[in-house]
Structure 1
Amino acid sequence: MRPQLALLLGVVAVSFAAPLIKLSAAPPLAIAFYRLAFAAAATFLLARGRPGRLPDRRARQLATLAGLFLGLHFAVWIASLRYTSVVSSVALVTLQPVIAALASRLLLGERLVRREVLGIGLALAGGAALAAGDFGGGGAGLYGDALAFLGAIFVAAYFLLGRVLRRTLSTLTYTFWVYSTAAGVLFVLALAARTPLGPYGAADWLIFAGLAVVCTLFGHSVFNWALAYLPATSVTVAILGEPVGAAFLAFVLFGEAPRPGQLLAGTVLFGGIAVYLSAPVPAGTPPPQGADRCASKAS
């Protein structure tokens, strides 16, 4: 299959995540747990029962921390869809690349060129405008926006850790250990919150499986595969099509038509991310990994 076609199919696959979650009557923590548990099991099978071992103590520590952040990301992002619209939730969580850039600047001392600063400013302004538009709809929408933004912070931390781990680990090894850890974190959170993990109807089990297989394996795994054949920036820009696909599906399934203000704010947000991604990489900078300059979010 041509990488460009695979990339298009991957975008379509991840676009189903938010609508599928909205269709499920299960609690958010249960949805998150089964999505990661099923994805870990599927990855184990794809590796033919040999996903590989983490080479040393540092790798184990980083993978555990990455899994923790991934689990927290799914916990809060999936919960956000109970309070705010698909458009706002998916758009706000897409802010993760600019959050990762700011974290790299503050924590690692990485310099930002002028175009990157402009892109970050536009993206954050668009995100703030989205939240401001939901403010008039009551506290629930704003709470959902806050959860989605928190999800962007957690997934940005997950990707920053992935920058280190994926230099030495294969995709299957990395994803298996991170998905397994995230599932364990979500299991503990579900027990602590007394969230029932069953029984559920057949429709919910199909949704759990769809999130794991379609959105995670056919979505994010395809993105990782495409990175071997296409520039990382091309893959990342293509992933920005996910909110568009999710918004279309939300309109078809739930009648959620984006408001004019949402469309304008979303355009500013995505335009800012595109400006950030178009900035030249300084000379001497190592080529980015799949998770570097904003690979996909983990929706």
Structure 2
Amino acid sequence: MDTKFVKLMVVMGVMFVSVVALVVKSASAPLITTAFFRLFFTVLIMLPVVVAKNNRNTYFPQKELLLSILSGLILGVHFFGWFVALDYTTVANATVIVDASSVFTLLGGHLFLNDKMTKKETICVMATFVGAILLTYRSLSFASNEYIGILLSVMSSVTLSIYMLIGRRVRRTISNLNYTFVVYLFGSIFLAACTMIMEGTFTGFPKSNYLIFLYLAIFPTLLGHSIFSWSLKYIKASFSATMLLFVPVVSIIGAYFLFDELPLPEQFVGAGIIILSLFAFTLGKDEARKNLDSDKEEKGIN
């Protein structure tokens, strides 16, 4: 596979993902309903492929199945937190905080999976929290409801990290297609329950909203995140991770033109610190991987 083509596909996927917050805020349907239909339409699109690929009995160990279901429910919580957060806080706050999920993944891996943290990674984590304080401290006033959006964004970031950690475990034995289908299915079930409790209906919206739901299912989900997973077979993970750092940048610029959301100077500084910290963290992971591969070659490990 031509690596230039793969990288071009990744860039295209990043552009699809970058406008999610802008598209979601443009919908007139409740945001929790939008979150549900994003996953529900994704499941409907994937269903024929899953059936065709699994026309024979597919082995799905019970433990991995239960973990996949749990992962789906957690992904549902992630979408709930992130979509609803956009009702309370700015696109800048929501996107930058959620994109910092790799820091929570790193901490989770260190605390629960015995992953070792390097000095550079520790510095990146500390810098990210400093940036987060600069980004959000003006929003943490109980005089307004914006603090709710910040808390929901943090919850969304943490649950995304848990989802990623579970995925690391399950994907060792289960195909990506089967895993993501189960995850999206149970994520949509969770969001359906939330929609019924909070909104009480799935219908009655302008037709343009259903086009938005379909767009979110096809482009950011299937042609966005799925492309990132597919690309790992052909290019370094650091390329996709680095490109994804442009998501909050594009989102912030778009939010300024569409919703007149202009971050304060200290919020620009905070967002910049977070993005640079994540960039350094990404390069550090790639460098560590190179050193590990080099050690394996010297020791004759395949």
What TM-score, normalized to structure 2? 0.88
Q: 1:150 aligned to 2:155?
A: yes
| Bigger shift: residues 48-57 or 188-197 | 48-57
CA–CA separation in structure 2 for the residues paired with 1:223 and 1:79: 25
Per-residue CA deviations over 1:204-242 (Å, capped at 9, x if unaligned) read: 111111111111111111111211111112211111111
Secondary structure at 2:288's aligned position in 1?
A: coil
Taking a change above 3 Å as real, the CA distance of residues 267 and 51 of structure 1, as seen in their structure-2 partners, is farther
- Match 1:19 to one of 19, 22, 28: 22
CA–CA separation in structure 2 for the residues paired with 1:4 and 1:97: 21
Residues 126-275 of structure 1: pairs in structure 2 closer than 5 A = 126-135=131-140, 138-275=143-280
CA contact (8 A) 1:96 1:155 kept: yes
CA contact (8 A) 2:136 2:267 kept: no
CA–CA separation in structure 2 for the residues paired with 1:196 and 1:177: 24
Per-residue CA deviations over 1:97-153 (Å, capped at 9, x if unaligned) read: 110111111122222010000011111111122111323694322211111111001
Higher helix share: 2
- Match 1:57 to one of 55, 62, 71: 62
CA contact (8 A) 2:29 2:205 kept: yes
| Bigger shift: residues 44-53 or 96-105 | 44-53
Instruction: Kindly name which structure, 1 or 2, has the bigger radius of gyration based on alpha carbons.
Output: 2
Q: How many residues align?
A: 285
CA–CA separation in structure 1 for the residues paired with 2:224 and 2:78: 17
| Bigger shift: residues 136-145 or 262-271 | 136-145
- What's 1:83 paired with? 88
Counterpart AA for 1:281: A
Taking a change above 3 Å as real, the CA distance of residues 46 and 254 of structure 1, as seen in their structure-2 partners, is farther
CA contact (8 A) 1:69 1:157 kept: yes
What TM-score, normalized to structure 1? 0.89
CA contact (8 A) 1:12 1:242 kept: yes
CA–CA separation in structure 2 for the residues paired with 1:139 and 1:163: 39
CA contact (8 A) 2:69 2:186 kept: yes
CA contact (8 A) 2:140 2:150 kept: no
- What's 2:118 paired with? 113
CA–CA separation in structure 2 for the residues paired with 1:264 and 1:122: 12
CA–CA separation in structure 2 for the residues paired with 1:137 and 1:20: 28
- What's 1:294 paired with? none
Counterpart AA for 2:288: V
Counterpart AA for 1:220: H
- What's 1:281 paired with? 288
Counterpart AA for 1:41: L
CA–CA separation in structure 2 for the residues paired with 1:27 and 1:50: 35
- What's 1:288 paired with? none
CA–CA separation in structure 1 for the residues paired with 2:62 and 2:272: 44
CA contact (8 A) 1:87 1:247 kept: yes
- What's 1:68 paired with? 73
Q: Percent identity?
A: 27
Counterpart AA for 1:169: I
Q: Cα RMSD over matched residues?
A: 2.0
| CA-CA distance at 1:47 after TM superposition | 4.1
CA–CA separation in structure 2 for the residues paired with 1:51 and 1:34: 25
CA contact (8 A) 1:43 1:175 kept: no
Taking a change above 3 Å as real, the CA distance of residues 126 and 120 of structure 1, as seen in their structure-2 partners, is same
Secondary structure at 2:53's aligned position in 1?
A: coil
CA–CA separation in structure 2 for the residues paired with 1:16 and 1:51: 34
Q: Which runs of 5+ in 1 are unaligned?
A: 286-299
Secondary structure at 1:200's aligned position in 2?
A: coil
